[in-house]
Structure 1
């Protein structure tokens, strides 16, 4: 059943500008890979033919922060890597979102020592935490869909406050 049959002969489709902008943001999201440990292997396999993140508009993962709007931090972040992560995050254009993939990125994992951040949210603001050690590609895809739902619900007035 198409739009023509639902609308009849009216020939008009109405929507809001927010809805169109949020729809375009979700369907053209470019992730920036930041793979630091074993979780990066699972992140790479989410791009493979078995899981195919291309169906969500993510054809390939960029290594350049200036073209990306979603950062996927996969693995443990050391104190030495924290400033690099923050610099890359600051180079991303607004609006931007972050997924912390794996237990190490979420809460430090089994590495409870002075050299590892106990969660990447100490360095950059995180929108979605994906649990697991390492999390399966399905979990990352669920995290991406959670970010999509968050983006679809954003309002212009909330973005202006940031």
Structure 2
């Protein structure tokens, strides 16, 4: 017992101070993409043609990027000769609607909080049931990380529970394969109303790399109503946490110092 106590003292305080401060992210981190249509040479479609999920389009209004389809793979950056697309270190990506995930010249409209009645119900105690609807386990792993001492999701009153009957909502990962469709619907039905649905990752939002495959449903939006979209492949734990706290109206813009 003494050895355990001494080891704990040596380790110090491990929980990050987020949302008061944003911890430093590694240089390889890929956050919110930025588009600069002014750099596009006339007729160049290199970034559009390189995208494996058709997340990028180009029309008379310039470049558009669908965060719900984006795999953050950098194929577009490597293909573009003019640097019209780049990834920033901004971890904030979550939105309330599917349409808001389409980036153009306007800034991303980050997720707004639930209405006052829902915030009173869920704002201080939110229980979630996670449903892996055919996922590869990457998004699931980053959801699990939120329960570690570093992020300590429980300090915000948010917990994952074993039964949908004990939950206030469900968190969906994966493209919703045909084999998981009934299981997802049964889980959704088992959650008492009112309830929330949160789609995490490109697969859950659009089908991700499996988009338009006949064995998937291109995400969960066509199966159940979605209250929060958290894009990424997979989204960073900070991105997920940011979206959850915004939904509950518990997030002020953190300092980067």
Fold-level similarity (TM above 0.5): yes
Provide the aligned length of Structure 1 versus Structure 2.
132
User: Could you say which structure has the higher strand fraction?
Assistant: 2
- What aligned pairs does 1:78-157 form with structure 2 within 5 A after superposition? 78-112=177-211, 113-149=213-249
Rounded Cα–Cα distance in structure 2 between residues aligned with 1:143 and 1:135: 11
**Aligned-pair CA distance for 1:104:** 0.3
Change (3 A) 1:80 1:25: same
1:49 aligns with 2:149: yes
- How high is the TM-score relative to the length of structure 2? 0.48
Change (3 A) 1:19 1:122: closer
| Higher Rg of the two aligned structures | 2
Rounded Cα–Cα distance in structure 1 between residues aligned with 2:198 and 2:246: 10
Change (3 A) 1:55 1:81: same
The answer for unaligned runs of 5 or more in structure 1 is: 1-17, 151-162
Aligned residues of 2:174 and 2:219 also touching (Cα < 8 A): no
Q: Deviations over 1:30-81 (max 9, x none)?
A: 01111343210011001111111112102x4112010101211122210110
The answer for unaligned runs of 5 or more in structure 2 is: 1-114, 251-257
Aligned-residue CA RMSD in angstroms? 2.0
- Indicate the residue corresponding to 2:123 in structure 1: 26
**Aligned-pair CA distance for 1:24:** 4.6
Aligned residues of 1:31 and 1:71 also touching (Cα < 8 A): yes
